[in-house]
């Protein structure tokens, strides 16, 4: 009796052990496969293409929101996204008053359909300014602010074009950021008006000129103590968790990270509507220390291409991670 029962309990124990072992092996295989796949996607990020995208945007004499040249810039970005095979792209038009004059401005929206309608927005502003904020005629190359973010988004769109993702992705380029987040305010309203299911948003504003510290990306979360930059408190924790996802991936692309809060960029209107947002930022929006900030000297020659490449990879890794976490 004792003998049998001890054999029974042994065999039960050993079954449990082997069940446990095979479960963890399966987990490991799944994790390895995901990581191997993510790695193969990240390897496709092409520094030359980032450089070409950024340089061609900076070659426009200005991308000031009041300049008719911004229409040419927008057309170029749109053509490039469509050229990547994205069929469902559109201009989101909105009216804005800048310096007492009415303008019709355009955001650029590019849809990548997923298995569900939950939306991940990856966004950046494509307008820029120089020293004199209202001057739409002088040279304004806006290489780091924010051709860097736009070039990353075009490259992310290229690399993800053949990926089947659970979530739908929108690549969004805003106009009128420098005049007070005009494009993102208007598009945040559009998201609400159309009852779209915005799950997460990543904003890229200045990601090519590591200024805070060498090779370090600032991950901005929705935990600003200044309530002007944190309208809703209920979404704060999820943003912090989202930031942790990006933080944990930084070493995978050989970046260091610094955690900070969202401040004065296109994520804010979405945050104000209760959405979960983060930003990636190089820390160079310091008019006292960075002489190129909002300057006619914000040129491609000051871009750190390896850094821009790494940040672009980090954004892709983060998107793939949240897409896989929430599909299981
Ligand atoms: Zn900017």
The label of the residue with tokens 């446990």 reads 20
How many angstroms does the Cα of residue 129 sit away from the middle of ligand 1? 9
How many angstroms does the Cα of residue 20 sit away from the middle of ligand 1? 51
How many angstroms does the Cα of residue 206 sit away from the middle of ligand 1? 6
- Summarised one tens digit per residue, pLDDT across range 240-294 is 999 999 999 999 999 999 999 999 999 999 999 999 999 999 999 999 999 999 9
How many angstroms does the Cα of residue 205 sit away from the middle of ligand 1? 5
Instruction: Give CA–CA dist 214/209, Å, rounded.
Output: 10
pLDDT band at 35; cut points 50, 70, 90: confident
Boundaries of every domain in the chain: 1-43, 46-325
The mean pLDDT of 91-120, rounded to a whole number, is 97
pLDDT band at 325; cut points 50, 70, 90: confident
How many angstroms does the Cα of residue 174 sit away from the middle of ligand 1? 10
Q: What is the ipTM of this complex?
A: 0.87
* Edge-to-edge order in the sheet of strand 119-125: 89-98, 101-112, 168-174, 119-125, 198-204, 277-281, 216-221, 256-261
What CATH number labels 46-325?
3.40.630.10
Asked if residues 126 and 104 have their Cβ atoms less than 8 Å apart, the reply is: no
How many angstroms does the Cα of residue 126 sit away from the middle of ligand 1? 8
For position 326, what pLDDT does the model report? 63
Ligand 1 ion: Cβ-proximal residues, 5 Å cutoff: 145-146, 205
Say whether pLDDT at 74 is over 90. Answer: yes
For position 257, what pLDDT does the model report? 98
The mean pLDDT of 227-249, rounded to a whole number, is 96
Question: Mean of the per-residue pLDDT values for the chain?
Answer: 92
How many angstroms does the Cα of residue 83 sit away from the middle of ligand 1? 26
For position 21, what pLDDT does the model report? 47
């Amino acid at each position: 009796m004792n003998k049998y029962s001890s054999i029974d309990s042994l065999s039960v124990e050993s079954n449990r052990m082997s069940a446990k072992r095979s479960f963890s092996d399966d987990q490991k295989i799944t994790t390895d496969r995901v990581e191997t796949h993510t790695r193969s996607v990240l390897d496709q990020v092409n520094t030359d293409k980032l450089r070409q995208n950024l340089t061609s945007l900076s070659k426009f004499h200005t991308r000031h929101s009041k300049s008719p040249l911004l229409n040419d810039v927008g057309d170029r970005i749109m053509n490039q996204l469509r050229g990547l095979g994205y069929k469902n792209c559109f201009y989101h038009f909105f009216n804005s008053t800048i310096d007492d004059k009415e303008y019709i401005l355009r955001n650029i929206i590019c849809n990548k359909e997923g298995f569900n309608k939950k939306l991940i927005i990856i966004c950046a502003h494509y307008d820029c300014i120089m020293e004199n904020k209202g001057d739409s005629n002088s040279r304004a190359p806006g290489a780091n602010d924010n051709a860097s973010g736009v070039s990353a988004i075009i490259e992310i769109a290229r690399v993800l074009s053949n990926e089947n993702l659970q979530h739908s992705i929108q690549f969004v380029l805003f106009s009128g950021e420098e005049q007070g987040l005009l494009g993102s305010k208007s598009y945040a309203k559009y998201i609400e008006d159309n009852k779209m299911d915005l799950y997460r948003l990543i904003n890229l504003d200045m990601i090519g000129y590591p200024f805070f510290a060498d090779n370090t990306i600032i991950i901005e979360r929705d935990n600003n103590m200044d309530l002007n930059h944190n309208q809703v408190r209920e979404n704060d924790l999820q943003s912090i968790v989202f930031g942790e996802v990006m933080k944990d991936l930084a070493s995978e692309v050989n970046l260091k990270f610094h955690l900070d809060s969202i401040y004065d960029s296109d994520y804010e209107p979405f945050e104000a509507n209760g959405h979960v947002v983060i930003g990636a930022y190089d820390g160079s929006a310091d008019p006292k220390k960075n002489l190129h900030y909002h300057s006619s000297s914000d040129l491609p020659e000051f871009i750190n291409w390896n850094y821009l490449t790494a940040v672009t990879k980090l954004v892709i890794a983060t998107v793939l991670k949240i897409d896989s976490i929430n599909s299981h």
